Structure 1
Amino acid sequence: MILLDEARWPAHGRLWGHLVSDTDLNELHRFAARVGVPARGFDHDHYDYPAERRASLMASGATFVDSRDLLRRLQASGLRVRPHERTPQRSVAMERLRARWLQLAPDALALREDLLTRWSEPHRRYHDARHLAHLLDALDLLGADEPVIRWAAWFHDAVHTGRAGEDEHASAALARATLASLLSPAEVDEVARLVEVTIDHAPAPGDVRGAYLSDADLAILGTARGRYDVYARDVREEYAHLDERHIDTISK
C-alpha cells in the first residue's frame, strides 16, 4: 500500500511530507513514476512530496496516515533504511576523506585537495566523494591496509568523464604522473595497475590486491535495497548520455 503523512517539514520555501510503500520499493517507484514525483525526490526509503500535491496523490491511490503510523509500517515492512546505512552528505564525506588522507600522506596536502576537487566535480552524481569514502570504508572491513591499495582507491576514478575504460586509463596515467615523487617506481606501477583493474573488476587468479579493490569498489551492491536504489538512480543521471542497456551494464 502507498502511504503518505502530513507535509510539515520546511525546505526551499515549501512544506514536505513522506511518500512510502509498506510492501516493496518497486511498488513505490512505479507509483512515483505514474504520478510524476521526480526521481530526485527518492531518499532511501521514501519520496519527499510537497504539501500542495497531497490531494492529487491521494486521488491517485495514496492513503493518508499520521507520521508515527507511517514510520511503524515502514519499519515493519523491512524497508526502513537506518541513518548509518544511508549515503552520507557530500560535506560529511569530504571531511572524512580529509582526515583519512592524513594517515596516507600527511605531507602532500596539495595533492589531497587536487584529488578532492576532482572527486567533487559538478557532473558527478555517484562517482563522487561519497563513493570514495564508501570504498575506503569497505577496504577497512576487508583489512586491506596496504598503501598501494589505498592510493589506487584515491586515484581509481580521479578522472571521470563518463567514458568507461577511457576514464580508468586516464586515472592510471594521472597516478603515474603524480606519484613519481612520492612512491617508488614499482609502487607507482602497482597503483596504476590496480586502477586499471577497476575497468572490469576481474582480477586475475591470485591477485589479492586487485580483488580487494574490486570488491570494495562494488560494495554498493551489498548495501540496503534503498541505498542501492539511490545508487542506481544516480548512475542513470551520471550516464544520461548512454542508452538504458549500457547503463544497466555499468550499474550491475
Structure 2
Amino acid sequence: MTVLIDPPVWPAHGTHFSHLVSDVSLLELRAFARAAGVPDRAFDLDHYDVAAARHDELVAAGAVPVAGMELARRLVASGLRISGAERAGSKRAPMLARWDASCPTTPGRTAGEGAGEAAREAAGEVAWHAVGEALDERWREPHRTYHTAFHLFTALEALDTLLSDAAASGAPVPGDVAWHARVALWFHDAVHDGSTPADEEASAALARELLAPLTGVAPRSAAEIARLVLVTAAHDPDPGDLAGSLVSDADLAVLGGTPAAYARYTHQVRAEYAHVPDPLFRRGRAQVLGGLLAAGDLFRTPWGKARWHDDATSNLGAELRDLAGPA
C-alpha cells in the first residue's frame, strides 16, 4: 500500500487541509479512505481533501507523510493526476456556463416579438439554468470516480471535436442534431448506480421529467433526447442515426486516448466499483470490453473512426490481456 499525505497547509472552511493520494491506484486510495472513515464527499477527482485534525490519525492508519512537492511529483508519476487545465474545465462554473450556452434558442423555441415574449424567454432561461444546476449536482455525487463531471466535460469536448471535424470535412452536422446530442450527453449518466441498462433508463426518464415542463423545449425534442440517452446503454445506434452516433462516439472517446490517459480511465472505473470483488470485476469488465470489440465498429461516425478507432482497439486489447493475466 502506498497512500501518501502532505502537511495540512491548504486553508479552507476555517481550518487547513491535507491531500491524501495513492501513487498506485485509485482503488487502493478509496479502500484506505473508507476504512479510515474519510467520507466519499472528500474525494476530488484524484485525491481526498482531509482536515488538519485528521492528519496524524491517518498517518497512524498507514498513510505515509511526505512534503507537498513530493506528493505532487509522485501523483504525476503515477499517471492518476487530473491536470490543472482538465480540473478547471470540469469545475461547476464553467460547466454551468456550457449548459447555459445551450439554452434552446433554436430547437423548440419560437422567436417572438414584444416585451411579453422577451419576459417568457427570460423565464425560460432561468428554468433552463435550474435544470443545469440539478444535473451538475448529480454528476458530482460522492460515490462517483469515473462517471463524474470530468467525464461529462471530456464527452462534451469530444462532441465539439466531432462537430468541428464534420464541418472541416464539408459535411456539417445540422444544428438541431448537434443540440440534441449535446443535451443528451448532460443526461446520459445523470443517474448512475452502476447498473446497465437500468441507469440509462432512469437517466432517460429524468430527461423526460426535467425537460417536459420547459417552455423552450418542444415535446419532440424531449423525446429525442431521452431516446439518445438510451443509445448509451449498448452504444449500438442504427445506421443513419447521426445524433445517436455522435452521442455514442463522444461517450466512448475516452477509449481512444493515449495509453496513459486510458490507464487513468481504467483506474477511475475500478475505483467506482470498489465494492465489487476483484475476480468478479475482472470477469465483468472483460465481458464488456469483449462485447465492444465483437460489435465491430467502436465508433459510428466517420470522424470518430478516423480519430479514435485504432488507438481504442489497441487500448482495449491491452486491457483484455491484463484482465486475463494474474490478479
Q: TM-score, normalised by structure 1?
A: 0.70
Residues 205 and 25 (structure 1), Cα distance of their counterparts in 2 relative to 1, 3 Å cut: same
Residues 109 and 134 (structure 1), Cα distance of their counterparts in 2 relative to 1, 3 Å cut: farther
**Aligned equivalents of 2:16 and 2:209: distance in 1?**
48
Tell me if 1:208 matches 2:242.
Answer: yes
RMSD: 4.4
Aligned to 1:151: 179
Secondary structure class of the residue paired with 1:7: coil
CA contact (8 A) 2:96 2:136 kept: no
Secondary structure class of the residue paired with 1:43: coil
The CA deviation string for residues 121-151 of structure 1, in whole angstroms up to 9 with x for no partner, is 2894218995765543221111264322333
Shift of 1:161: 7.5
**Aligned equivalents of 1:226 and 1:20: distance in 2?**
16
Shift of 1:65: 1.2
- Structure 1 unaligned runs (5+)? 237-244
Aligned to 2:43: 42
Aligned to 1:229: 268
Aligned to 2:292: none
CA contact (8 A) 1:10 1:16 kept: yes
The worse-fitting range, judged by mean Cα deviation, of 44-53 and 140-149 is 140-149
Shift of 1:115: 2.5
Number of equivalences: 236
Q: TM-score, normalised by structure 2?
A: 0.56
Secondary structure class of the residue paired with 2:129: helix
Aligned to 2:98: 96
**Aligned equivalents of 1:15 and 1:161: distance in 2?**
33
Residues 88 and 188 (structure 1), Cα distance of their counterparts in 2 relative to 1, 3 Å cut: closer
Shift of 1:80: 1.9
Structure with greater proportional helix content: 2
Aligned to 2:161: 141
CA contact (8 A) 1:18 1:48 kept: yes
**Aligned equivalents of 2:138 and 2:218: distance in 1?**
30
- Structure 2 unaligned runs (5+)? 112-120, 142-147, 167-172, 193-197, 275-280, 289-327
Aligned to 1:240: none
Residues 192 and 75 (structure 1), Cα distance of their counterparts in 2 relative to 1, 3 Å cut: closer
Tell me if 1:68 matches 2:107.
Answer: no
1:97-246 matched pairs, under 5 angstroms: 97-101=99-103, 110-121=123-134, 124-126=137-139, 130=149, 134-143=154-163, 145-153=173-181, 155-156=183-184, 157=187, 164=199, 165=201, 167-168=203-204, 171=207, 193-194=227-228, 196-198=230-232, 200-217=234-251, 224=261, 225=264, 229=268
The CA deviation string for residues 213-250 of structure 1, in whole angstroms up to 9 with x for no partner, is 123245567785379839976x99xxxxxxxx9xx99x
**Aligned equivalents of 1:104 and 1:228: distance in 2?**
40
**Aligned equivalents of 1:211 and 1:126: distance in 2?**
23
CA contact (8 A) 1:126 1:231 kept: no
Percent identity for Structure 1 against Structure 2: 36
